[in-house]
Structure 1
């Protein structure tokens, strides 16, 4: 596929008829026929342009004033490698607020020439570009109103922003799917983005969270740590130092996955981070919060080193009685009485509860009647009178689903012709 310019790709998609470059802009203003197929909007009035995977490698001639109202530009999976092209695009699209440059080979190039101030850009996507930290320094210096930055899949193992960077507009940073293993590296983002609201750091090999000063991330409200390697509850306890944290996502992390019960998997986190209002996208109710606090009191009642909030919860709830350990799982075997109407005999046998009605019929025919080909009808009689009499007719139904079969219940066997 031949490489093309941004202007060329723009004309090919949105102005399919061949038009001389020197008359393109005037012709667009004169006629409404130069529209992208199915789009129905002249280029001069377009607010969104999508040129993903068009093999764009340069800007080309004549971009200035060509589509002055464009606010959203998608250029992912192209061949843009020179930052001067990006600078030219930003300069020529004065209303651009969203720019997606994902999967462009920008890794080997620095920003050689000064970039002009770019106050209109609000969202920048640089995933899979391996953009250097020095290039990000420059971008953040000129994109003074940038609110959202995506830098996932860039192979970062450290955060190397210049200490002079202090960006007061950025609210959301997505740095997931990199190689950051130390919480201290994420700490470096706090002075650079003092008003950061959302930090998505999922799918990084982060193994622990060290004690965090309350001045770190003073405005951080949403934190995403799914698919990290957090392996101890103390790390999650340290997140309580983030004073405004209200929403935390920690799905598929080792410390929580070790707990089999879904409900109890939430309790240790909720109890350790009392400021949370949402955990893993689910709202934390007042009832769930109280249950979590009481769970922590029971869990650490006899432990020499309970979590920091143990004393606070003890003062709030007092001593909490331990819950009785009741096994509510279905019984594996039950002693049933099998009654045979024909010869009026009764046999008591131990029966597996995880088998189906069909399997029980076959067992009765083979073992109790000695005739595997015999066809039988089974009538279950609940000795407590709760279920009454019922024909076991659903072949695929498990026996333990019949409320609860108990020792002494009866099964009346009838031979069918």
Structure 2
């Protein structure tokens, strides 16, 4: 299996270029310093890399590299990982996803291999690496300026971010973005540990995690909980008490809960209390798939219920920014949705929007479906007779029925609609289109249908 140095040489070529030595005419061409030969971004996915290679040669080649993608290789030794980091002092982004890094750093790393810190490294991707919490905490201490971390698909069902020395949660204030997709964590108590470890977190992705609820303990699907009476909980891991589910996420602006197991509207109400939350994704959850209201209302109406219960959300499920008019319509819909339900069934948000919009009248259900049978007057030359017209038939079908009345073949027949209100002004309208249905002419009782034969 190749080393990183060999893979770089294979993909990007040697730093030496002898082309000009073979030219018959001597022309001075200044050679680039080998440190500037490679691009700042190195992409070496799926190259079977298992080691760093000669550190001196690698340092000469990669001194200026700022972004490194080594996903889907065969790196498994932490000493090789840190050799690579050590020879790239300007590295800002490192993707190590799908390398098996399950070995514990404390048991495998030789002394002196790791620098004190890596202050330039801002983004680290460790998806599906099986990295242990112990190794991850060790790395965090060396990344004082890290801003974005990817820990998706690492089979974490418990969050272990206590400081091993004093049993208090570590705190990394520089981290603002965390991707945690596809980990089997199921309770919000565990998720809150992430918020404590990263107190300035602004973006959190929990898609495809089997989270049952934002409450602790998770409620049964048919149980209603009032947010205002939400009980205070003391976690098992820390001595301090968290009053509400959002206390660990006071700076969180973006949250992705797609395809979690959230199933109650009370969880939506809790999301509405997050102090900084502006952008939310919540699709593919049992809340929408199993809720009995699902069959009664359209997707648009369910969106209205979400908007009304989330007063501070600006963008929902990646759509356009919610306008003031859309929010007002949603809040009015919420009032009418719950106005006939009991107090126990109404969310806390109901009383808030009633104070804004007042108690609304019920919407009048107006049926705009055209009448199916309309009495009209059929006129053909001197012949005139009353007829009950089926307005759902097409013009062609109507002509075919008129054949027996006036002995004119349908293909030779011309039919005109005379609106009794405006016919004297604009004249009758010929019904030319054979597949057009009669109700589209807005025929009402007393109008005339004039039949004539083509010449």
TM normalised by structure 2 equals 0.73
How far residue 248 of structure 1 moved from its aligned partner, in angstroms, is 1.5
Q: Radius of gyration: which is bigger?
A: 2
- Quickly say closer, same or farther: Cα 1:377–1:186, change in 2 above 3 A: farther
Q: Which residue of 2 aligns with 1:133?
A: 133
Secondary structure of the 2:351 match is helix
| Unpaired stretches in structure 2, ≥5 consecutive residues | 19-28, 163-167, 216-229, 231-243
Q: 1:15 aligns with which of 13, 16, 22?
A: 13
Secondary structure of the 2:204 match is strand
| In 1, Cα distance between equivalents of 2:322 and 2:379 | 56
How far residue 73 of structure 1 moved from its aligned partner, in angstroms, is 1.4
How far residue 407 of structure 1 moved from its aligned partner, in angstroms, is 5.9
Q: Which residue of 2 aligns with 1:269?
A: 306
Are positions 1:205 and 2:203 aligned together? no
Between Structure 1 and Structure 2, how many residues are aligned? 390
| In 1, Cα distance between equivalents of 2:46 and 2:95 | 12
Are positions 1:4 and 2:43 aligned together? no
Q: Which residue of 1 aligns with 2:65?
A: 70
Q: Which residue of 2 aligns with 1:98?
A: 93
CA contact (8 A) 2:373 2:388 kept: no
- Quickly say closer, same or farther: Cα 1:351–1:223, change in 2 above 3 A: same
Are positions 1:235 and 2:267 aligned together? yes
Q: Which residue of 2 aligns with 1:304?
A: 343
- Quickly say closer, same or farther: Cα 1:7–1:275, change in 2 above 3 A: same
Deviations 1:328-364 (A, max 9, x none): 5x448454758474876664343437xxx5xx52x34
How far residue 172 of structure 1 moved from its aligned partner, in angstroms, is 0.7
Q: 1:43 aligns with which of 37, 43, 58?
A: 37
| In 1, Cα distance between equivalents of 2:82 and 2:156 | 24
Are positions 1:83 and 2:122 aligned together? no
Are positions 1:159 and 2:159 aligned together? yes
Could you tell which deviates more after superposition, 340-349 or 167-176?
A: 340-349
- Quickly say closer, same or farther: Cα 1:352–1:197, change in 2 above 3 A: same
Q: How does 1:3-402 map to 2 (within 5 A)?
A: 3-15=1-13, 31-32=31-32, 42-43=36-37, 46-61=39-54, 62-102=57-97, 104-106=98-100, 108-111=102-105, 112-113=108-109, 115-116=114-115, 117-162=117-162, 164-210=169-215, 212-256=244-288, 258=294, 260-281=297-318, 282-302=320-340, 303-305=342-344, 306-328=346-368, 330-331=369-370, 333-335=372-374, 337=376, 339=378, 341=380, 347-352=387-392, 357=394, 361=396, 363-364=397-398, 369=403, 375=411, 379-382=416-419, 385=422, 389-393=428-432, 402=440
| In 2, Cα distance between equivalents of 1:406 and 1:209 | 58
Say what the alpha-carbon RMSD is for the aligned residues.
3.6
| In 2, Cα distance between equivalents of 1:16 and 1:208 | 55
- Quickly say closer, same or farther: Cα 1:223–1:411, change in 2 above 3 A: farther
| Unpaired stretches in structure 1, ≥5 consecutive residues | 21-28, 35-40
- Quickly say closer, same or farther: Cα 1:54–1:374, change in 2 above 3 A: farther
- Quickly say closer, same or farther: Cα 1:131–1:264, change in 2 above 3 A: same
How far residue 198 of structure 1 moved from its aligned partner, in angstroms, is 0.7
How far residue 135 of structure 1 moved from its aligned partner, in angstroms, is 2.8
Secondary structure of the 1:81 match is coil
- Quickly say closer, same or farther: Cα 1:85–1:393, change in 2 above 3 A: farther
- Quickly say closer, same or farther: Cα 1:295–1:18, change in 2 above 3 A: same
Q: Which residue of 2 aligns with 1:38?
A: none
